[in-house]
Amino acid sequence: MDNQSLEPRGIKPEESPSLVLAYIGDAVYELAVREYLVQRGMVKVNQLHRTAVKYVRAGAQAKALFSLEDKLSEEEMAVVRRGRNAKSGTPPKGACVLEYRHATALEALIGYLYFKERHERVREIISMAVNEISRQ
């Protein structure tokens, strides 16, 4: 696999299913959270995992999305609505359907922006989400 194959070229996020966007957004968000925690000096894997769960669980992501909504563009809100309305199956243990749908919406937004190669905006949104969850 060469480096070029890792770039999101040729993917049209406007035409991609919301759950595909959420799938990618979940990975991007999870990596960002892990980097955030390591940058703060966490080095014990068990502690990293327990703390990361606080940031990636559906309830926390849903609350973060609510705090971001007034900071999103119309285009971004349209992606959020698409992601929220996607039929994403059974929520994980400890999450209600509404939390899970809103978490999926946040992940879809991150995936959408990633595929649009708007990496600075991805960082802004993740930073705002992580800061909001840190306050909870």
Catalytic residues, by residue number, are: 26
C-beta separation of 106 from 80 below 8 A? yes
DSSP 69: G
N- to C-terminal Cα separation, the chain: 41
Distance between CA atoms of residues 33 and 39, nearest Å: 10
CA distance 113 to 39: 24
